[in-house]
Structure 1
Amino acid sequence: MKLLLTSAGIKNPSIHTALVDLLGKPISETNALCIPTAGYGHPQTNPSHAWRFISGHEPRSPMTELGWKSMGVLELTALPSMGRERWVPWVQETDVLLVNGGDALYLYHWMQESGLADLLPSLRETVWVGLSAGSMVMTPRIGEDFVNWKSPSGSDKTLGIVNFSIFPHLDNPDLPGNTMAAAEKWAAEIQGPAYAIDDQTAIKVQDETVEVVSEGHWKLFTP
């Protein structure tokens, strides 16, 4: 897959340009599915957050409101009840998956339960655009600081599609605990490569090349 791992969506022209580059065509010619699932697992979210994400009424985290050719909703908790033969073609035929924030472990759980995680390696040309937890789920682990919903395994493990972890929303005024000092402490516990990124920053991954795209600030921590 091609990945655009954001803290807060398509927040600035640089991230927008990176998205179009990964798509290989204008957004207006691109078919998208949005995945709201992660939002249901976080204690600070509610159904109104899911509606704003799906309907494109979340200007602080632009994702679905960018002028896509088509937009559908892929709710992962529903997939196990309908059979792979029904939903797999929907995913295979779309150009981009827009994945909401919320709880990364809850999202990881339902990616596994639904079968979407198993499908990802075959989606070589599909673009995955993550927002916060939708980005963190692609990493090897999220760290105890971000554990809210408890995984049945008791672990903070996630997909490991990339080899680095992500501390999002760095220095966000609405999240006073997300300081650089907190990120440094978190990174020491992660014991692997890790990025702290603010809401004006994204990480672009294509053909195993990792590029930070930023109009804000970020830091890479190495063990």
Structure 2
Amino acid sequence: MNLLLTSGGVKNKAIHGALLELLDKPIAESAALCIPTAGYAHRGGMGRAWNFIAGRETECPMTELGWKSVGVLELTALPTLDHDQWTAEVREADVILVNGGDPLYLHYWIRESGLADLLPTLTDTLWVGLSAGSMVMTPRIGDDFAGWRPPTGGDDSTLGIVDFSIFPHLDHPDLPENHMGAAEKWAAGLPNPSYAIDDNTALKVSSAGVEVVSEGHWKHFDQPEAS
């Protein structure tokens, strides 16, 4: 599975170009599924979910890019559905678009729904994450981003598909707490490498490795040395 891990969606030409490279086919010929689930854990989440599905998040382009088709993969519904039915539809998709919101809530439902078990088999599918939809692929999100907690307890661990963590929305004007100093402190508390990225930056992950795609600013933090 290739990954395009964004902070603010497909915001610019550089990220759009990376999307086309990973798809290896035109967007107009690509079938998409979108996952709105992460947004529900935040205040106003139902409206945010609708805006994401309907392509009305103009600041975070994802579903409105001109896909051949877009379906909704609502993770909270999957445990009540026939397993073979929904997994067949996931396998047929070219790309999975994953909304922002709460990364731990998203992680919980990726596991509860059974999607986590399916992900390793989706070798020809592209995962495009938006904020929490990107963070969930990392091993840890850090305590700064741990809001919702699962009923079973747990820490800030997520899927660990990649070996680095992501601090999104770096220096966003509406998030004054997301400044570089905060990112540096956050990174120092993690046992693995990490990136701080702004909304004009994405991380392109493929068999060739990790490539930073940016028309903005970002910083890579090496793994802290063991004391």
Scaled by the length of structure 1, the TM-score of the pair is 0.98
The equivalent residue for 1:139 is: 138
- Tell me how far apart the structure 2 counterparts of residues 66 and 33 of structure 1 sit (CA, whole Å): 13
In structure 2, runs of 5+ residues without a counterpart are: none
1:31-70 to structure 2, matched below 5 A, reads 31-42=31-42, 44-70=43-69
Paired amino acid for 1:150: R
Residue 100 of structure 1 aligns with an amino acid whose one-letter code is N
Report deviation, 1:208.
5.3
Instruction: List aligned pairs for 1:1-223, cutoff 5 A.
Output: 1-42=1-42, 44-151=43-150, 152-207=152-207, 209-222=209-222, 223=224
How far the C-alpha of 1:192 sits from its partner, in A, is 1.2
Misfit runs of 4+, over 4 Å: none
1:109-135 deviation line (CA, Å, top 9, x unaligned)? 000000000100000010000000000
| Structure 1: gaps of 5 or more residues | none
State the number of aligned residues: 222
**Letter paired with 1:119:** L
CA contact (8 A) 1:112 1:118 kept: yes
Q: CA deviation at 1:204?
A: 0.3
Q: Deviations over 1:21-51 (max 9, x none)?
A: 0000110110000000000122x44211111
SS in 1 for 2:189: helix
**In structure 2, the residue corresponding to 1:190 is in which secondary structure?**
coil
TM-score by length of 2: 0.96
Alignment RMSD (CA, Å): 0.8
